Structure 1
Amino acid sequence: MRIGTRKSTMALAQTAEIARRLAAAAPGLDVEIVKFETIGDTDQTSKLLMHGGKGGAFVAEIRDAVRSGRLHAAMHSLKDMPGNEDTPGLVIGATLPRESAADALVLREGITLDDFRRTRGKGFKLGTNAVRRAAYAKRLFPDIEVIHFRGAADTRVRKLDDGEMQRLPDGGEAGPADALIMARSGLERVGLADRVAYEFSSHEMLPAVGQGIVAVECAVSDWETRRLLALIDDASAHVCCDAEREVLWVLNGHCNSPIAGHATIAGDEMTLTASVLDESGGAFIESVRSGPASRPRELGRTVAFDLLDKGAAAIIAQTRVEDA
């Protein structure tokens, strides 16, 4: 089986775990990892919107290789997969067990969390490329300056430690950053868990849809690959994936929309929380609903329609100005 992945340290670690699980579930299966350098990896200056969002930047090239038959499957971080558009001919064949979905604060040496809280972030620069994280950060630290910050997980931490400036799409520079907000699971995958200065609760910063879940995508008609991937599929992670992504689908959320969603399961019941913010963090609406874990998409639709009833469409429409 040929599995495509990005060349980053984190992506390779995720794909190696898929290969390990497949080898254990199907002894004798030959798994080849095919590395891709996507446009999002080569261009670490532009905003992802310029490349069609995370889907265009990190997913599209590998998906095309699956569609053409050059690959049997593709590894993606689920949060990088667009949820507001059709993916004709492709299906998520497996999701690995969910790792931590939490966001974490990484600080430059000499800075403490108390410094941020005492000053409300005034005088500090926070690096992130995620509009969701930027919006929540503005709610937690109203006076902080958020700067555009790109790179793989380990690269971002190195740039923080080195005091490196971030090149901007307009040719200018920003920084250096005093802190970063990153996925805890990503830091763990690249061996940097010790850099977590603070882990945000879901009440403080609701995770991105799919955060902490590794997905394996394949062709709808490739039944042998689907059979093999089913052997490593984690059912709990998969239904959470379905519920959270249904919210994106109904809201037609795009890469510039600060939308968050996180599902948890207790017994046979699933609880889904989702939110929509404006880019400043000023406007904020949230919905929390529970239902049978066996009907995740129905729960996702219920939560999404509740958000729409509360005014989500108008907030999302405002974030589409840059699209035009």
Structure 2
Amino acid sequence: MRRNIIVGSRDSALALWQTRWVMEQLQKQHPELTFELVTMKTKGDKMLDVALAKIGDKGLFTKELEFAMQQREIDFAVHSLKDMPTALPEGLTIGAVCKRDNPGDALISKDGRKLDQLPQGARIGTSSLRRCAQLLHYRPDFQLQSLRGNLNTRLKKLASEQLDAIILAAAGVMRMGWEDMIAEIIPFNVCLPAVGQGAIAVECRAEDEEVRTLLQGIEHTETRAATDAERALLRHLEGGCQVPIGAFGEVVNKKLSLTAIVANLDGSQVLRAQGEAPVEQAKELGIDVAEKLLALGGKRILEQVRSGE
């Protein structure tokens, strides 16, 4: 085994926290190795004045790191799994999915109010069409404002842009140690999370057996199964940032369950489906639940959203 492993990360505070956490876990298991951190900015980090859905490009937060892997400049890269496209570049693979933290969406309000306590016409900041559609379905009076930037920037905008609340992935807020800012983890019956939300993934070269073996030490089997189901669903629906799709897979009593939604942009239609399967049939479950959504009318919604109707 080579002694020095080069690890790639985005340079945001949250990305660095996640990457250093992965490095620490691996260092504990392999004290004989050294891990070197290399940081870089991705396209998604640079284009902060445009809503994610309007950029219309998959891999916004991963491409530069993936190119560095293909060029053998880094040995593996650490990502938030929700940022990873369902189709990876040729020659790359997900070497490990770590144990998932809270997968939900966190509401941070300026006065600690919960979602149902926000005033009529409350201004809420979020960068996600998925969140917008589900929140408008729950309360059509909400005014949703586009919110981009790293966690620090978004928190500052809560005050500077006169917002009543913002919504962030709960896991990121908690990893940064800001739990006391959370007014509420939004219930899944109101807002299902993004595919892979709350899970850290490590991407590496498929041919690199040494690194793949190393990464098995931080793999979490149940999280992998749950997120494999979610990603199979997303791939089957051909969804991305431009389509409001939410999903949550979970292993309970050795059975894998999956719940998912497809919504139109204004939230007037939110279709929900679920299914259950043995853990080893994760991808099949994802496709099955995707087919249920399509049969319920999801095909028409997806066509409308993509055509801009």
Tell me the TM-score normalized by structure 2: 0.94
- Is 1:193 aligned to 2:192, yes or no? no
* Superposition deviation, residue 96 in structure 1: 1.0
In the superposition, relative to structure 1, how do residues 44 and 130 fare at CA in structure 2: closer, same or farther (>3 Å)? same
- SS at the partner of 1:97? coil
- Is 1:112 aligned to 2:98, yes or no? no
Aligned to 1:313: 299
AA of the residue aligned to 1:309: A
* Superposition deviation, residue 127 in structure 1: 0.4
Matches within 5 A, 1:275-294: 275-294=261-280
Aligned to 1:31: 35
In the superposition, relative to structure 1, how do residues 264 and 186 fare at CA in structure 2: closer, same or farther (>3 Å)? same
* Superposition deviation, residue 125 in structure 1: 0.8
* Superposition deviation, residue 87 in structure 1: 2.8
Matches within 5 A, 1:1-324: 1-53=5-57, 55-83=58-86, 85-109=87-111, 112-113=113-114, 117=116, 121-160=119-158, 163-165=159-161, 176-321=162-307
* Superposition deviation, residue 164 in structure 1: 2.0
Equivalent-residue separation in structure 2 for 1:86 and 1:34 (angstroms): 21
Equivalent-residue separation in structure 2 for 1:220 and 1:51 (angstroms): 29
CA RMSD of aligned residues (A): 1.7
* Superposition deviation, residue 51 in structure 1: 3.9
Indicate the percent of aligned positions where both proteins have the same amino acid.
34
**Kept in 2: contact 1:78–1:214 (CA 8 A):** yes
* Superposition deviation, residue 90 in structure 1: 0.9
Equivalent-residue separation in structure 2 for 1:108 and 1:285 (angstroms): 31
Equivalent-residue separation in structure 1 for 2:68 and 2:244 (angstroms): 30
Equivalent-residue separation in structure 2 for 1:220 and 1:230 (angstroms): 13
AA of the residue aligned to 2:231: R
**Kept in 2: contact 1:132–1:208 (CA 8 A):** yes
With 183-192 and 206-215 compared, the bigger mean Cα shift is at 183-192
Equivalent-residue separation in structure 2 for 1:6 and 1:229 (angstroms): 19
AA of the residue aligned to 1:287: A
* Superposition deviation, residue 105 in structure 1: 0.8
Equivalent-residue separation in structure 2 for 1:225 and 1:33 (angstroms): 15
**Kept in 2: contact 1:101–1:212 (CA 8 A):** yes
Tell me the TM-score normalized by structure 1: 0.90
Equivalent-residue separation in structure 2 for 1:270 and 1:56 (angstroms): 28
* Superposition deviation, residue 300 in structure 1: 0.9
* Superposition deviation, residue 5 in structure 1: 0.8
In the superposition, relative to structure 1, how do residues 74 and 118 fare at CA in structure 2: closer, same or farther (>3 Å)? closer
Equivalent-residue separation in structure 1 for 2:31 and 2:281 (angstroms): 33
AA of the residue aligned to 2:116: R
Count residues with an aligned counterpart: 305
**Kept in 2: contact 1:154–1:190 (CA 8 A):** no
| 1:67-126 residue CA offsets vs partner (Å, 9 max, x unmatched) | 11111111110111112x3532111000111000011111113x623xx6367x533211
Unmatched 5+ stretches in structure 2 = none
Equivalent-residue separation in structure 1 for 2:99 and 2:117 (angstroms): 38
**Kept in 2: contact 1:5–1:36 (CA 8 A):** yes
AA of the residue aligned to 1:276: V
**Kept in 2: contact 1:268–1:294 (CA 8 A):** no
